Amino acid sequence: DTEVTQTPKHLVMGMTNKKSLKCEQHMGHRAMYWYKQKAKKPPELMFVYSYEKLSINESVPSRFSPECPNSSLLNLHLHALQPEDSALYLCASSQDVLAWTEEETQYFGPGTRLLVL
């Protein structure tokens, strides 16, 4: 199983709502990532978890709150978002964020398309 799953596929929320995005992988990967992608732009890295600990936070506003409950799950909690946060949110995983070998690769999920009204 080389699949990264994300739910929901689409999400519409108001600026006062609280919602969560979920990501799951069962490949035994120990590194998981959240990316944000605006239309026609490349993905931007938001957070990296390594062995269930937050290792990289790319200066993301506190209205985005990541959580890694276990090695297979990664959540992104959303609160008081702005319309400009509307984007595709991509989750990815890899064997180990530090073990950079020829076979290392990131596996991406299909994304959650978020619209903030």
Partner 1 sequence: KNEVEQSPQNLTAQEGEFITINCSYSVGISALHWLQQHPGGGIVSLFMLSSGKKKHGRLIATINIQEKHSSLHITASHPRDSAVYICAVRENTDKLIFGTGTRLQVFP
Q: Is 37 in the site for partner 1 (CB under 8 A)?
A: yes
Q: Are strands 87-94 and 31-37 parallel, antiparallel or unpaired?
A: antiparallel
Would you say 42 or 83 has its CB closer to partner 1? 42
Tokens of 80: 């008081």
Nearest-approach distance from CB 115 to partner 1, in angstroms? 13
Nearest-approach distance from CB 69 to partner 1, in angstroms? 24
CB atoms within 10 A of CB 5: 13
Would you say 84 or 102 has its CB closer to partner 1? 102
# of chain residues touching partner 1 (CB under 8 A): 24
Q: Is 59 in the site for partner 1 (CB under 8 A)?
A: no
The span from the CA of 30 to the CA of 13, in Å, is 31
The helix/strand/coil state of 27 is coil
DSSP label at residue 98: S
Binding site for partner 1 (CB under 8 A): 37, 40-45, 88, 90, 92, 97-98, 100, 102-111, 113
